């Protein structure tokens, strides 16, 4: 049974956490290179937010929504 848990440990430490170890080593050499992935995620998130706001404005300008306070049953 001990070998089973050591195999799980080896799988996670040696294989799945290897990219994090590489990022940790890269961070000592170049902070910018280590954080490129974070900047890419922030840019993609910002673009998605802008797109979503434009879509909401498009539907808001069409006056498709019933804005009466009693239009939704949970507002009664």
pLDDT tens-digit readout, 15-66: 999 998 998 898 899 999 889 989 999 999 999 999 999 999 998 888 777 6
Q: How confident is the model at residue 10 (pLDDT cuts 50, 70, 90)?
A: very high
Query: Residue 72 falls within a domain, yes or no?
Result: no
Query: Residue 76 falls within a domain, yes or no?
Result: no
User: How many independent structural domains does the chain possess?
Assistant: 1
Q: What is the DSSP letter of 75?
A: G
Distances (CA, A) of 46 to 8, 13, 36, 72: 38, 33, 15, 31
Query: Residue 51 falls within a domain, yes or no?
Result: yes
Taking the C-alpha atoms of 58, 42, 20 and 28 in order, what is their torsion angle to the nearest 10 degrees?
Answer: 170
Query: Residue 70 falls within a domain, yes or no?
Result: no
Query: Residue 74 falls within a domain, yes or no?
Result: no
Q: What does the alpha-carbon distance between residue 43 and residue 56 come to, in Å, rounded to a whole number? A: 20
Q: What does the alpha-carbon distance between residue 4 and residue 10 come to, in Å, rounded to a whole number? A: 10
**Taking the model in full, what pTM does it have?**
0.58
- The pLDDT assigned to 50 comes to 98
- The pLDDT assigned to 41 comes to 95
Query: Residue 71 falls within a domain, yes or no?
Result: no
């Amino acid at each position: 049974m001990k070998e089973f848990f050591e195999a799980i440990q080896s799988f996670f430490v040696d294989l799945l956490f290897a990219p994090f170890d590489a990022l940790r080593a890269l961070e000592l050499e170049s902070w910018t290179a280590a954080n490129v992935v974070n900047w890419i995620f922030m840019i993609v998130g910002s673009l998605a937010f802008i797109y979503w706001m434009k879509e909401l404005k498009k539907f808001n300008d069409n006056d498709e929504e019933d804005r009466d306070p009693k239009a939704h049953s949970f507002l009664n």
